[in-house]
Structures are given as C-alpha cells and as structure tokens.
Amino acid sequence: MDVRSFQQWRREFRKSARDDRYAVLRDHLHRLCLPDRPERLLEGTILVVQACLAYAGLDGQPAGSLLGMQVYDPGDAADAKYAITFDLHGKAFARLLAAPGLTTLDLADLYGHPWDRYGCCGYGRFWISRTDGSRLTRTQRLRLEQVVTGDLRFDYCDDEIDIWFDDRSAKGSLLVTVQDRFEVD
C-alpha cells in the first residue's frame, strides 16, 4: 500500500466531509434508514478503505483504482456504480464505492478482518445501493447476489457461514447478512 497516497486521500476525505458538514454521508445513512451518525460513517470508511488497500497489496493488486474510486461525493466517482455500506457490528458504518462487478473489494477478507478500534471482527451485514440513488433492478439484484455469494464462498464453505439477501429492508437497496454457522449438538 502506498502510505502517502492513503494519507492524502484520508485528509481530503475528512476535509470534504467537514466542509460539507457531513451532508452527503448523512443523506446516505438516511436512505438506508441507519442512525444519524455521519462521523462514525466517516471513520469506519477510512478504516475499511485502509484494510482493503492492505488486502489488495497482499494479493498483488494495484491499489490505485480502489483508492481513486473512494471519493466523498459518489456523484464524482465516474466508475463507481454501487455504494456498499458495512455495519461493523453497530460500532461504526463504512461506505465503499465499487464498480459493477465489485472487483476492487474482497468481502471474504473484510468479513474476517479485526477492527481493534471497535473490539470486533468483520461485519454482520452490508447494504448495496446505487450511487445515483435509483432503485436496484431485479437483474442487478440477482447479479449482485451471485457476485457476493461467489466472493464469500471462495473463502467460506456452506458449513462455515450463512448468507441472506433482503431487498425489502431499505428501499431500492440489497441487504446482505452474513453470519458464522454454529454447530448445535
């Protein structure tokens, strides 16, 4: 990971949020019916972007496309079609912008990532919504379900995690819930 590029991005992202009085982040939370805590969304986003960059580096992937897509206002991200909003077990939220195939993200790596700051690991759920605010089409929802399932199942088998999809919890978005599977004797 190019530390200088990340630090510059982090400064600019925070400045954009402060200058805007967090309006873009607040609107995003409201669309998903999430608590009005844009500061938590800001800080969670920074941590998740940092984790994604670390995983991209481990996988030998260029970090530039991921970092370049993570702009404060999704309307300014030409290549980003989706906003993925992670719930870090109620401690924070994080919003990542992604291209149609979600190729710059590794959902399985993020599911197992330790968030030392919050004393938890991974996420329990996330929402996928369109950056333009439009509703997901049926075709988009089905394709996203395939992409998400493929990503998670690459690292976790059916016996390890359960995955649920809900397109009714927040209008126009797809809620994905992921949970460890526990054996009951």
What DSSP string describes 165-178?
A: EESSSSTT-EEEEE
Apex 53 CA angle, 48 and 55, nearest 5: 95
Stretch (H or E) spanning 21: none
- Domain spans of the chain? 3-180
Per-residue pLDDT of the chain (185 residues; tens, 9 = 90+): 578 999 999 999 999 999 999 999 999 999 999 999 999 999 999 999 999 999 988 877 777 788 999 999 998 888 899 999 999 999 999 999 999 889 888 999 999 999 999 999 999 999 999 999 999 999 999 999 999 999 999 999 999 999 999 998 888 899 999 999 987 65
The pTM of the full predicted model, rounded to 2 decimals, is: 0.94
Q: Are 108 and 152 in contact (CB under 8 A)?
A: yes
Tokens of 96: 């990542």
Beta bridge partners of 127: 85, 175
Q: Which of 118, 126, 91, 110 is nearest to 50 (CA)?
A: 110
